[in-house]
Amino acid sequence: MTDHAYSWPMHLAASASLIRERMTDFHDHLLLWVISFIVVFVFCLMVYILLRFNARANPVPAKFTHNVPIEIVWTVIPCLILIAIAIPSFKLLYYSDKAPGKSEVTIKVTGHQWYWEYAYPDAGNFSFNANLVADKDLQLGQPRLLTTDNHIVIPSHTNVQFLVTGADVIHAFFIPAFGINISAVPGRVNQVWVNATQEGIFYGQCNKICGTNHGYMPIMVEVVNKDKYQQWLAEAQKKFSDAGTAAIMASK
C-alpha cells in the first residue's frame, strides 16, 4: 500500500493505524449523520418558511417577537447534540494520547530547518537525517515533494512511541494516514503513539509555517512486518552508527 493524494476523492483517506480507524469510525458513524440531519432539517425548515410565510400566502404578517417554548427548544436541542458528540470525542482524544499497553519501539523525532532527524534510542541508539529528494533525482513512482533520501521504518501491529521535539523553531509531525499531528517544540518533548495496521509507505509533512522552506520537509514512513523490521534494523545499525560512518569515511 502506498499512501498519497489522488484526484477527486469521495471519502476520507484510507486508515493505516488504530487511532485513524477510530477517527474514521467517529466521523462516518456519528458526525456525518449528525451534520446530514442538521443540514436536511434546516433546508426543510427554510423551504417551509418560504412557502408558508411569503407575501402572497401570508399577506398580513404576525406582530409577535418572542416565543419562549421555541427559544428553549432551539437552545436545549443543540446543547444535547453537542454533549452527544463530546462524549465519544473525549474518549477518542484520551485514546490517541496514550498507547494502551507498553510501546515496543521508541523513535525520537527532531525537526530542523528544514529536515527531520530520527533516532532509535532502544535499538542501538543510531540516528539519521531525512532530506527531501529533489525533482531531478526522483525515480519512477516516487511522489514529488514527499520522497526523502532516508526514512523511518516501523513494524506493523506494534505499539510505536514517537518522542517529538524541535531544534530551532516549532515544526509539526503530521502523518494523515496514522491520524497523528503533534507539534515539535524546541525545549519540549511531546509524545504520540502509532500502531500501524497496514504495510506500505505512508507520507506526511510539517504543516507549521516554520520558515522559507516549511513546505519542503516531508515525512516518509515505511511499515513492514516484524521479520523485515529486524532485518532493516540490523542493516541500519551498521549504516547509521558512528562506527559505520567512520568506516565509510575511511574507505573514501
- The Cα–Cα gap between 42 and 114 comes to 47
Closest CA to 119 of 104, 103, 107, 111: 107
- The Cα–Cα gap between 189 and 159 comes to 19
- The Cα–Cα gap between 222 and 202 comes to 6
Only one residue has cell 525537526, namely: 111
Closest CA to 111 of 236, 240, 209: 209
Grid cell, residue 229, equals 523490521
Q: Which domains does the chain have, with CATH numbers?
A: 18-97 (no CATH), 105-251 (2.60.40.420)
User: pLDDT tens per residue, the chain (252 residues)?
Assistant: 567 667 777 788 889 999 999 999 999 999 999 999 999 999 999 999 999 888 888 888 878 788 899 899 999 999 999 999 999 999 999 999 888 888 999 999 999 999 999 999 988 889 999 999 999 999 988 899 999 999 999 999 999 999 999 999 999 999 999 999 999 999 999 999 999 999 999 999 999 999 999 889 999 999 999 999 999 999 999 898 764 444 433 334
For 201-216, give one letter per residue: b (16+ CB within 10 A) or e: bbbbbbebebeeebee
